Structure 1
Amino acid sequence: MSASDKISNATEDLKGKATEAVGKATNDDSKVAEGRAEQASASAKKAGENVKDIFKK
């Protein structure tokens, strides 16, 4: 996994956490769901990159 991929995934995860927090603070269920979706997307990308790293060895 390249450093830029790691940074991109971490940024997406943090953005998702922030969106979820805003949704919780404002009682906006759609923002909470959007934030969780962003976090799930970042996790899936991270898992995919980890699989690539395993096969590079």
Structure 2
Amino acid sequence: MSGLYPDNRRVRPTGRMILYHLDSLMLRPGTATSPPTILISQGVQAHLLELLGIDETRPRWLET
């Protein structure tokens, strides 16, 4: 995967790299008229979420 390092070299993502790049994600809370949304600030975050099978427009919550 490229985009994890500034020089765009291709590397295998480690757990530490994934967490580092997803660290700055923010969640916009939902309202009565709009659902909660994950706010993405970097392209690599969108790619990681896609690889992890997470839809940024439909974040999932644990059942409590």
TM more than 0.5: no
Bigger proportion of residues as helix: 1
TM-score (norm 1): 0.28
TM-score (norm 2): 0.27
Bigger proportion of residues as strand: 2
> Which structure exhibits the higher relative contact order, with contacts defined as CA atoms closer than 8 Å and separated by 6 or more residues?
1
